[in-house]
Amino acid sequence: MMQRCFLVLIWWIQAAQSSPCAHRYYGNDHTVCVCNSTYCDSIPEYDFSSASSYIRFTSDKAGQRFEKSEGFFSYETTPECSTRLFIHSTKLYQTIQGFGGAFTDSAVMNIKSLSKDAQENLLSAYFSMKGSRYNLGRVPIGGTDFSSRKYTYCDNADEKTSKLNFSLTEEEYEGKIPLLQKALELNPELRLIAASWTAPAWMKTNNDYVNGSLKEEYYQMYTDYLLTFLEEYRDQGLGMWAISTGNEPITEYLKYVRINSMSWTPAAMATWVSRNLGPTLSKSRHNQTLIFGLDDNRGHLTSFYEEFLSYESCTNYITGTAIHWYQDDTTSASLLDQTHYKFPEKLLVLTEASIIPDTTKSKKPVSLGSWNRGERYMLNIIENLEHWIAGWLDWNLVLNQDGGPSWARNNVDASIIVNPVADEFYKQPMFYAIAHFSSFIPRNSVRIGVSQYNKSTGIKSVAFLTPNNEIVVVISNTSTKEQQVTIYDLHKGHISVRLEAKSFHTLIYKQLLCY
């Protein structure tokens, strides 16, 4: 009896040290990891036992979450049926900026619905060294469709002086700003990307938060509005790394979409950037803040963005290209290659992704524990990284069990779902899909070459060289069967592993420097 108790105690100590997932099952192989005010799973630390060792982290549909194992390189004969991956560590592509998500009003409201200790665990899960290590955050300027109301910071014009009556809102002071400050404490490497969904309604052609365009007479005043936002946030210790030209400028032409929005033509946007936003920003104390163009789906890279960048007067002010994922199933990733080769000096960053439910099949936007949705994230991240994307951001960091709140009833799924009644939050497979990248690929890592033979097995992969001279290989097995995979490194030998059915893997090993 004492021996059994002793073994249970040892297991408990080991479990406490590694903080494993506390599973909850929702049927059909759907599982989440439950966190609360006293407990949350974390990502195990790792070290190499020798120069010839590697570390593997595995998550799968069956329930594993960052299961850590260690193995060793070999020069022995490999199985003939193995899918072969060849690492080309001297073939360098884009430098990685990072991974993250958006601090929408809805996300902030849901985080604040939890107890203080549960909030701490949630933010730690995203931003701390034992969590996903998010180092990019998207910050809306004013309200979005994921707010409880429509608003900007200047909803009332001063008719006598035409000056801005700019004022941050309760959403800022009670919500976004304190949580952003806490996230920055957890990860000082956090960089913020600001984006406005619309100008104040009175500056627009239709006097509304939805659709319409900016009146040319207000081009400079709207620019001043954006610069005032940068000033106010900087005063709170929250400087912006980048600002976009505006969220989804094509939305008005999608008649079935009604969210906070403001439309632009390429010519009008080029005029505004070259005459107002660019010069004003460059002459301000925010002249190190980058300007990202587009901030819309990659299908608009040719139809909108190339024409916009054809205006030389604005091109030099644009540092990067912000892209959303919502047309990725119907538009080729080759559009990213095309943009990169035409404008190689411009960063490519995916700034928004979320699962929009197919309402013809289900009215519930949240599917707790869906492995399929996590796999969609995993495959999309791999595809985009393979085509020059340097950063990938999720949409709402947190939503409730209905996928909201959203004033526009535009409810979607999220990587973390909260249950304030139970004071719990649920980490979904989508969370772990992103974390298989964000936790192990720090900023300034470089994508390297990886070639694959026997491509009919459902194996997708991408590889990186980190500033710490580690090789990181992320692999997805989409097959319903185990797959044998062998990874070859010319300088170290090979790794032969069996990948569980429906699984994500991150393999890490030290690069050999003496060649």
- SS3 (DSSP) at 384: helix
Using 50, 70 and 90 to split pLDDT, how confident is the model at 76?
confident
Give the residue among 266, 138, 261 at the shortest CA–CA distance from 195. 138
Q: Looking at the domain that runs over 97-438, which CATH code has it been given?
A: 3.20.20.80
Question: What backbone torsions phi and psi does residue 134 show, to the nearest 5 degrees?
Answer: -55, 135
d(CA 263, CA 197): 10
More confident residue, 81 or 486: 486
Q: Give, in order, the Cα–Cα distances in Å from 314 to each of 9, 119, 245.
A: 65, 42, 12
Residues, the chain: 515
pLDDT of residue 358 exceeding 80, the answer is no
Contact of 424 with 37, CB cutoff 8 Å: no
Question: Is 192 exposed, middle or buried (CB count within 10 Å of its CB: 0-12, 13-18, 19+)?
Answer: buried
d(CA 478, CA 461): 11
Give the residue among 235, 227, 346, 320 at the shortest CA–CA distance from 281. 227
Is 248 a known active-site residue?
yes
Question: What backbone torsions phi and psi does residue 72 show, to the nearest 5 degrees?
Answer: -135, 150
Report pLDDT for 27. Answer: 86
- Indicate the domain borders of the chain: 53-94+446-510, 97-438
Instruction: Give pLDDT tens digits for 9-59.
Output: 333 444 445 689 999 999 888 999 999 999 999 999 999 999 999 999 999
Q: To the nearest whole percent, how much of the chain has pLDDT over 90? A: 86
Is 352 a known active-site residue?
yes
Q: 377: which residues sit within 8 A by CB, 6+ positions away?
A: 353, 394, 415, 429, 430, 433, 434
Q: Give me the catalytic one of 352, 375, 424, 500.
A: 352
Q: Give me the catalytic one of 67, 172, 248, 252.
A: 248
Instruction: Give pLDDT tens digits for 271-321.
Output: 999 999 999 999 999 999 999 999 999 999 998 999 999 999 999 999 999
d(CA 396, CA 413): 9
Contact of 273 with 291, CB cutoff 8 Å: yes
Q: What CATH superfamily is the domain 53-94+446-510?
A: Golgi alpha-mannosidase II (2.60.40.1180)
Question: Is 27 exposed, middle or buried (CB count within 10 Å of its CB: 0-12, 13-18, 19+)?
Answer: exposed
pLDDT of residue 96 exceeding 90, the answer is yes
Q: Considering the entire predicted model, what is its pTM?
A: 0.94
Instruction: Give pLDDT tens digits for 154-211.
Output: 998 765 556 688 999 999 999 999 999 999 999 999 999 999 999 999 999 999 999 9
The CA-based angle 405-372-424, given to 5 degrees, is: 45
Contact of 362 with 421, CB cutoff 8 Å: no
Using 50, 70 and 90 to split pLDDT, how confident is the model at 77?
confident
Using 50, 70 and 90 to split pLDDT, how confident is the model at 79?
low
Give the residue among 210, 317, 298, 198 at the shortest CA–CA distance from 246. 198
- SS3 (DSSP) at 252: helix
d(CA 127, CA 76): 41
Q: Which DSSP string corresponds to 324-383?
A: E-TTTTTS-THHHHHHHHHSTTSEEEEEE------TTT-S-S--TT-HHHHHHHHHHHHH
Strand 242-244 and strand 290-297: the pairing is parallel
d(CA 69, CA 53): 11
